[in-house]
Amino acid sequence: MKIGNFIGGAFVAARSGATIEDVNPATEETIATIPDSNAADVDDAVRAARLAFPAWSGTPAAERSRLLLKLADLIERDLEPLARLESEDSGKALSLARRLDIPRAVANFRFFATAILHDSTEAHVDAGLSLNYTMRQPLGVAGLISPWNLPLYLLSWKIAPAIAAGNSCVAKPSELTPLTANRLAELAGEAGIPAGVVNVVHGYGNKAGRALTSHDDVPMISFTGGTATGAAVATNAAPRFKKLSLELGGKNPNVVFADADLDEAVATSVRSSFWNQGEICLCGSRIFVERSIHDVFVERLVAATRALRVGDPLDPDTDIGALVSEAHMRKVLGYVQVARDEGGTIATGGTRVDRKGYFVEPCVITGLGCDCRVLQEEIFGPVVTVTPFDGEAQSVEFANATRYGLSASVWTRDLGRAHRVAAAIDCGTVWVNCWLVRDLRVPFGGMKESGVGREGGFESLRFFSEAKNVCVKW
Ligand code: TXE
């Protein structure tokens, strides 16, 4: 498969003609070539988006909504081939792409297509003096940069609110997982979304991505990816005074108190540790367990982990597929070695599976404290640590002992404690007795080095618009 950039409603090669190979991490075979775009290609896309902006931003919300709903229907129609593309591109289990990735992309378009029909703005009346009303206007071209772990899910989480709010956009998907973005571009055309409203430029982050974040005609950047990359994006965008939303890494605590429902806590912890090979920024990679139940929790978690089936992502019985790339697999295996060097015990897993493809056995590590690198640095793979704690105060101390602050899970039947601990953990989302239960209306984002700004629900529509106050004399 040879895919092109989608610019002004047409598929085109990079101006330089250069390409990048796209590899299926489960088979190590090249499955596509994508354009290795540079600043000239980004410039073409931004020009197309600027041209489309006046008409699109002037299109009534009801019509924008209709077109986005049509696009959602088309994604739903093509759920099966899209899920397969996502699986082949990223290594994730096809069953997960069917259940999670593609349905969420549909939901994202439906959610923002209808949100704009129910949005409102404020008026402030100072009787006898003035009437102020707030306009929320689209800004122009949105630059959208997305990662490889949930490719269509996270790209649609950005494209849907950006264009629903009346902006046009240039999206730069991860060079590791470009295929569903390419298909989305086709479907946007089929849905009747005018040419130039959605543009997709493929290529490397430090070339195409950097050109987008530095472009003078792109007034806002929404980025999801690693924390170090987020810093590079901010360095480029901040001096140009762009609106910036950064959703970055996580090193999320999963805190289990002795009074928790152990069956539920173990079953959900297996998912929050290893879903999508642990390649979700919301995974609970640091598990803290109250000392009195630590040993039994570890025993049950290890048994459940060993029962997971690692293998062919297309096999319906597979729980864990391949990691996204060889480089990423090496990074993950490197951290297992760091854990050994730091004195940790590998309770299970942590080795490469003896077959073609980048498969790693899910790994549980015990015996490490909060200062160890393995508990400080984002591994972003099927590797978790379990550490005992004593009492509520220490659970919070451990949970906060990281520079990240994306999400947390807390397991307890004590309602008062659930509220206290949730309030005390420094992060953007706390799940009590659950994980990854997502209501698209709620604010989403991180504290500390997990990001800046909030998206989700009306927060997304606020990000992709500029508030303007109009003051009329009474
Ligand atoms: O992400 P990058 P990578 C974390 C995770 C992972 C690490 C690196 O820890 O191991 O990040 O993964 C584009 N200017 N997460 O390398 O580099 C890039 O092309 C502009 C967490 O894949 O952050 C891609 O489209 N753009 C995360 C996107 O940024 C640049 C999910 C993300 O890539 C750029 C993925 C630059 N200078 C990885 N450099 C999460 N929190 O969900 C790269 N890009």
Helix axes 415-424, 391-399, angle to 10 degrees: 30
pLDDT category at 403 given cuts 50, 70, 90 is very high
Task: With CA atoms as reference, report the closest residue to 401 among 367, 425, 436.
Answer: 425
Query: Mutate which of 229, 380, 450 to test ligand 1's pocket (most atoms within 8 Å of Cβ)?
Result: 229
Element (H, E) at 42: helix 39-57
Residue with tokens 């479907």: 187
Cβ contact 406:224 at 8 Å: no
pLDDT at residue 59 in the model: 98
pLDDT category at 31 given cuts 50, 70, 90 is very high
Q: How far is the CA of 418 from the centre of ligand 1 (A)?
A: 33
DSSP string, 200-242: E--S-IIIIIHHHHH-TT--EEEEES-HHHHHHHHHHHGGGT-
Name the DSSP letter for residue 100.
Answer: I
Mean pLDDT, residues 273-289: 98
Question: How far is 58 from 467, CA to CA, in rounded Å?
Answer: 17
Cβ contact 362:273 at 8 Å: yes
Q: How far is the CA of 120 from the centre of ligand 1 (A)?
A: 35
Q: How far is the CA of 146 from the centre of ligand 1 (A)?
A: 7
136: helix, coil or strand?
Answer: strand
Give residue ranges with CB within 6 A of ligand 1: 145-149, 172, 174-175, 204-206, 209-210, 213, 224-226, 229, 232-233, 247-249, 281, 378, 380
For the stretch 192-250, pLDDT in tens is 999 999 999 999 999 999 999 999 999 999 999 999 999 999 999 999 999 999 999 99
Residues involved in catalysis: 247, 281
Residue with tokens 């590899």: 23
Amino acid present at 9:
G
For the stretch 303-322, pLDDT in tens is 999 999 999 999 999 999 99
pLDDT category at 467 given cuts 50, 70, 90 is very high
Ligand 1 atom nearest to CA at 204: 19
Backbone angles phi, psi at 136, to 5 degrees: -120, 105
Task: Work out the mean pLDDT of the chain and round it to a whole number.
Answer: 98
